[in-house]
Amino acid sequence: MSSSSTVENHSSEAAALVDQAIEGRQSIRAFTDKPVPRALIEEILAVASRAPSGANTQPWKTYVLQGAVKDSLIDKVCAAHDALRADRSLADEYTEAFDYYPRTWVSPFIDRRRENGWGLYGLLGLERGNKDGMHAQHQRNFRYFGAPVGLMFTVNTVMGSGSLMDYGGFLQSIMIAARARGLDTCPQAAWNSYGKIILPHIGAGPDEMIVCGMALGYADESALVNTFRTPRVPVSDFTVWLG
């Protein structure tokens, strides 16, 4: 076999492995309690730290929550989530540091959101109007879907909106590195409204704000919810070819 053929085969194999990790990633909503070794978490974060950032600012900061510290945060945020449901006037106490979703939804984004929501709820047998069931399902976010590791990400408030773009690459790198090692994840913006509870709990400084949380662990392969796969529009729908 020629050297060029060897290089081509190696490149093809490498591409297949990378593609497999990317395409195999999905938002897992039920995990086993199998522990994740600290060394493996550190390895994933070290790989992800190679994500690009403007002027190499590396704006990310990661908190790894396990055991009693994680369970205590879960209790606090779930209590706040229940209280907010009971008294909507508390909404002003729980606000995001930045708008993750648009303030006004338009098509096609609202259509995709509805398709996603009702596809998931339909799979779980949660019919429209089942507020108790939807509340319980939403609260599973704040239980990290049973994952043994909860990640919380912050950014310094001095940074600009470009750092949130940089953060996207870092988060994706974590998820792909985890998948390549047989682990699964679920990125969670649901935590963002509870910064006033989360930040002091994790020991964050006054100059930090929540970017998002993430569940990390091993998927429960027997869970029905993990059969849910979101669709993607074809390349032709989001690409404009010029020249």
Name the CATH superfamily housing domain 26-101+141-226.
Answer: NADH Oxidase (3.40.109.10)
Q: Which amino acid is at 130?
A: N
pTM (global) more than 0.85? yes
Contacts of 175 (CB under 8 A, 6+ apart): 25, 185, 187, 214
pLDDT of residue 6: 62
Q: What is the DSSP string of 77-136?
A: HHHHHHHHHH-GGGGGGS--SS-SS-SS--TTHHHHHHHHHHHHHHHTT--TT-HHHHHH
Q: What does the alpha-carbon distance between residue 217 and residue 195 come to, in Å, rounded to a whole number?
A: 23
In three-state form (DSSP H/G/I as H, E/B as E, the rest C), the secondary structure along 148-176 is CEEEEEEEECCCCCHHHHHHHHHHHHHHH
Which segments of the chain have a pLDDT < 70?
A: 1-7
Which residues is 185 bridged to in the sheet?
A: 27, 216
